[in-house]
A and B are shown apart, each in its own frame.
Chain A
């Protein structure tokens, strides 16, 4: 029943997309499309929550697609959880776009593809055979590519779209090969057959690597992340929120479905590989983010870091499952899936906030903003809550998933393999480092954009955004707070997913704990209570403020800034994004990015300005992709002469190919 409803709602999204193709030039079409998308996503969200609350898996086969295969669909706990994430993100983005979409100057390039994108993502989660999965995956990639190319007059967007297309094709190819390996020589492509069958260990390892390449490139694992910081910012802001907050989660779903569900019994070194990749991704992602001064690129690189954190949890879970430590695997899986939910919440919030800033000022570059907290106080408050949540500050939700991941790391001395014993503490240190650097990154992002004094007239003349955008922002902010103070509810909601992936072992029920405390493992006695921390802090703060205002002084006077007695009226003297990141650039960047600063000072008396130039080089691009691109270009240049042959030469080519094939045919027998 739930499954049929969801398929029907997906069809409704397709129809909306088709309607938008026809009617996008009409005024009010934008409102209609986004309103319908909002309603459909809310309905789908409720249906998915209903299924998660306690229903068994349902399957359905429709006579679409390949004639001998059909299209299989399945709704189980894992799909239901990811449907909740996708549709929540879709609903909030649609709500935001009800206000934001009014500013779109090329609606015919955005409106048809937005509902189609949502439909594609929903279909990926419901697919139960390889063909339906890959078809929906490609459909999702193509619609998002169309949305990335919506503002195609800017050459940067064109380059971003091209790179995105190449990486998406590469990813789909890897997944195709993975499914081919899993289906085996009999060609049983539906997931039920794959689950029931067995794969040789060599092929299983190869399938894992291909799944990492395919799903990892879509999610943004280093070194396959290069398209993400170019493509995510190029799309309109509500689409960026969907791509970063939701599409990357669909990629994580693909990985979990293949590795945890279809591959069968894991081997210990699979966990090690995933763990190591996750750790490297987390640290590199946040270091890249710290070097950026474009808000959207900073957020996109930060998505890379959070994907790294999710894969650290998944790697730990694989390692535990390989050693039959199912209770610990439940903890690690809960941490990873909780972070999936959290990241979709706060990353969408931050991208939508950036969209609001972009509409209000026309600028994305932090170095041209500043002081926005005065004209846009509500947007600033929502962005602050998002920044605090992503920096893992209690009592918000980012802290809970980080806490659970640390608890999973603290149970890992049980792992017997020596390499894992060395890898896990190193990854733990990398995780701690990336969490601290994330806080720095968001002090920079919020501080330079919203605080201080406006650096350009565009920033000085900003206005607060419309009420739809604010409603969307505050819905997400409220959800961040709720997930932080009632984490037991989320953990209990995740329980059916965990038992599905973990042979029935799950964490103990949290709803029986006093005061909504989170107690993941009873024997370990580690507990956390977000609600009480919030209450304590609120109590201390208000009591202190109240007592002081009553008993001491509450006088306030406005004046010029002190600034050690030399206040400078020019806002150019305050810190910029580059100067805020300078200590980090010097400490970490000089090693990772070979960051060099060059100062050219003109001699005294010369009226030219002094220049400070910062040079960074991207190690992944320079050592990974540039050689490949150079090789491909060299090979294709060598073969270019084939374009300019005479007619006689072409005919002899055809003749030679025919003779060769006949020879092969003769010798084969």
Chain B
């Protein structure tokens, strides 16, 4: 019986992240609009956009191959699995031991690999622009993310995300410098990976300033809906990650009962709302960087992550 409940809770988490992801993006867009003194679209607009796209016909270029048609589903699957593994309202769920932080980072890498290939598939120059810039950003963002993972794992003694989240809730963490460095680096990496200002503008219409949008320029219909949903899931993943590691209070542990789960869910929704607000504020205040300043930005994140790891290595003195 307990086994069935566990599976049910895990299933609920998977559905929850899928349902909440467009709402989070809708919240961020509305806040950005209101900061610019506009009314802004409704919070449910992303759901309507997805519904519209899903029911439209797909137009494929003549030079598109089977990879172009399969890639959106692969990307969506990788991102959904990764997002389901990050603790949201409860940690230590049934399948949390299948993939640890390093595997989550690698799953995000798989999604990006197939997205870049899809960009190159049709054989246009804009797809190439997007793919090459995205891989340049990834070549610095992924090592920075791995350094952050190392810092967190050295503190918690394990790479498994649920165990790290539970460790952060205990008192023995304290205010460590390495944690501060990891927080700054993780925010920088999250901005770069989610294609937000100042790295990339998600609302741009100028192809020469695009990174993420340029790779999906040829997609339409249900394929585009899958990729958009994947991007929403990625934003939710990073905000959940920041929340469960650096603001872990209120998360339930597995098997704690329905009341604890509901309380954890309420706290999680508040964390998402606050995170969305901070993101919208930051994006409205800062200007977009030119492309070859992004590598210095991510290089700084990598150096901060490396410093955090270095400090933890040397403070284990014998």
Contacts and interface: CB of A to CB of B under 8 A. Distances in A.
Contacts, number: 282
13 contacts: A391-B113, A432-B143, A436-B138, A443-B117, A443-B120, A444-B135, A447-B131, A451-B121, A451-B123, A559-B60, A574-B124, A574-B125, A575-B131
B160 A526 contact: yes
A562 B217 contact: yes
Interface in A523-553: 524-529, 532-533, 536-538, 540-541, 544-545, 548, 552-553
Interface string B191-221: 0000000000000000100000000011001
Contacts of A428: 146-147, 150, 309
Contact of B292 (A453, A557, A586): A586
A249 B139 CA distance: 28
A254 to B, nearest CB: 31
B89 interface: no
Given A536-B81, A574-B123, A443 B113 contact: yes
Interface in A503-537: 517, 524-529, 532-533, 536-537
B56 interface: yes
The contact size tier of chain B is 35 or more
B306 A425 contact: yes
Contact of A371 (B123, B125, B312): B123
B158 A526 contact: yes
Contacts of A413: 154, 312-313, 316
B91 to A, nearest CB: 13
Nearest to B135: A440
Given A447-B120, A558-B62, A529 B99 contact: yes
A68 interface: no
A228 B58 CA distance: 47
Interface stretch (B29-37, B72-80, B248-256, B272-280): B72-80
A573 B126 CA distance: 10
A76 B154 CA distance: 37
B173 interface: no
Given A392-B106, A533-B99, A548-B222, A446 B62 contact: no
Interface string B54-87: 1111111111111100000110111011001000
A557 B57 contact: yes
B234 interface: no
A425 B313 contact: yes
Interface stretch (A120-128, A171-179, A404-412): A404-412
Contacts of B158: 524-526
B106 A575 contact: no
Contact of B109 (A391, A538, A555, A567): A391
A541 B76 contact: yes
Contacts of B159: 406-407, 410, 524, 526
A569 to B, nearest CB: 11
A575 B103 contact: no
Contacts of B100: 526-528
A482 interface: no
B131 to A, nearest CB: 7
B139 to A, nearest CB: 5
A636 to B, nearest CB: 44
Interface in A280-323: none
A443 B103 CA distance: 20
Interface of A: 370-371, 373-374, 377, 380, 384, 388, 391-394, 399, 403, 406-407, 409-410, 412-414, 416, 418, 421-422, 424-426, 428-429, 432-433, 435-437, 439-440, 443-444, 446-448, 451-453, 517, 524-529, 532-533, 536-538, 540-541, 544-545, 548, 552-564, 567-568, 571, 573-575, 579-584, 586-587
Nearest to B214: A564
Contacts of A553: 54-58, 221-222
**By CB atoms of chain B within 10 A, which of A370, A403, A414 has the most?**
A403
A574 B121 CA distance: 10
Contacts of A373: 65-67
Nearest 5 Cβ contacts at the A-B interface: A575-B128, A452-B123, A447-B120, A583-B136, A541-B77
A409 B150 contact: yes
A524 B157 contact: yes
A587 B147 contact: no
Nearest to B205: A564
A601 B13 CA distance: 58
A117 B199 CA distance: 52
B138 to A, nearest CB: 6
Given A548-B226, A552-B54, 17 more contacts: A373-B67, A394-B103, A403-B103, A413-B154, A413-B313, A425-B313, A429-B143, A432-B142, A439-B113, A439-B142, A524-B159, A526-B158, A540-B80, A548-B54, A559-B60, A562-B124, A564-B207
Contacts of B313: 412-413, 421-422, 424-425
A303 B22 CA distance: 43
A443 B138 CA distance: 12
A92 B294 CA distance: 44
Given A532-B95, A533-B81, A579-B128, A425 B103 contact: no
Contacts of A394: 99, 103, 106-107, 110
A440 B78 CA distance: 18
Nearest to A514: B97
B239 to A, nearest CB: 21
B123 A537 contact: no
B302 interface: yes
A556 B62 CA distance: 12
Contacts of B67: 373, 380, 384, 451
Given A451-B67, A525-B158, A575-B131, A440 B136 contact: yes
A105 B95 CA distance: 56
A32 B222 CA distance: 53
A309 to B, nearest CB: 14
B9 interface: no
Nearest to B84: A536
B123 A571 contact: yes
Contact of A579 (B65, B121, B132, B139): B132
Contact of B106 (A371, A393, A421): A393
Given A425-B306, A580-B128, A583-B291, A436 B113 contact: no
Nearest to B14: A540
B306 A527 contact: no
Nearest to B50: A552
A475 B194 CA distance: 38
